[in-house]
Amino acid sequence: MAVAMITGASKGLGRALAAGLAREGWDLVLDARDASVLRESAREARVHGTRVVAVPGDVTDGWHRAALVAAARELGGLDLLVSNASALGAEPLVRLHGLPLEGLRAALETNVVAALGLVQEALPLLRASGGGTVIAVSSDAAAEAYETWGGYGASKAALDRLMAVLAVEEPDLRVWAVDPGDMATDLYRAAVPGDEEPRPAPETVVPGFLRLLADRPASGRYAAPALLGVEA
């Protein structure tokens, strides 16, 4: 059975991806900081009859990243790593002149440093998989300049660049940075409280990720809605 690891899996896109992959028969290792909410995600995924291991913790902690990879090894290996855990840097988002530098450091630590650290920890299992795949959940803020999204966008742009280089250095893997598009998530509500514009539920973009896994196109940057012919 193929094994996937998803960080930030307690809610939003991570939780929706966990359910979507479980429906496809994937065994799962799930990460999030909130143990009680993570248990609910794991329970929801187990409904589909696959093995699900919940490992609560913070991806910025090297010991936790090692525990995640150890859990995958116990399930038989690792075929897919989804780096979804993200930090905004400021909640709500603020213009660059007021962005706390500690917040920017925190966003870089979670969105970039921890994501690379987990790839480094997981590489032996991904290389042994025969079809090892890395998905980094990116953002349109990595490519477009939106007011107040500078710190978060910079961290996601850095993540995109790391994934592009990883794809060159590890040609036997598939490495995709995926922009999921606008979604109604707690992260967005924390970023822009008071924005009541309707947005798609995270579940609606999961088929785009599943299409990537089914078609296995070349490593690169993709937009989940575009994969399904939906305007982002």
Classified as helix, coil or strand, 80 is: strand
Write out the DSSP string of 183-199: ---HHHHHHSTT-----
Q: What confidence score (pLDDT) does residue 79 get?
A: 98
Who wins on pLDDT, 205 or 225? 205
Tell how far CA 89 is from the center of its chain.
Answer: 17
> At 41, is the pLDDT very low, low, confident or very high (cuts 50, 70, 90)?
very high
Model pLDDT, residue 174: 98
| Per-residue tokens: 190 | 């924390």
Nearest to 68 by CA among 21, 117, 133, 17: 117
Taking only the tens place, the pLDDT of each residue in 98-157 is 999 999 999 999 999 999 999 999 999 999 999 999 999 999 999 999 999 999 999 999
Model confidence at 228, pLDDT cuts 50, 70, 90, reads confident
Structure tokens at 225: 């809605």
This prediction's pTM: 0.96
What is the model's pLDDT at position 229?
81
- The per-residue pLDDT for range 168-224, each reduced to its tens digit, is 999 999 999 999 998 999 999 999 998 989 999 999 999 999 999 999 999 999 998
Q: What is the pLDDT of residues 1-14, one digit of tens each?
A: 899 999 999 999 99
Active-site residue flag, 146: no
What integer pLDDT is reported at residue 22 of this predicted model? 98
Residue 232 pLDDT: 52
pLDDT attached to residue 97 = 98
In contact, 157 and 143? CB cutoff 8 Å = yes
pLDDT band, residue 225 (cuts 50/70/90)? confident
Local confidence band at 17 (pLDDT 50, 70, 90 cut-offs): very high
207: helix, strand or coil:
helix
Is pLDDT at 227 greater than 90 in this prediction? Answer: no
User: Would you state the CATH architecture of domain 3-227?
Assistant: 3-Layer(aba) Sandwich (3.40)
The answer to whether 15 and 31 have CB atoms below 8 angstroms apart is no
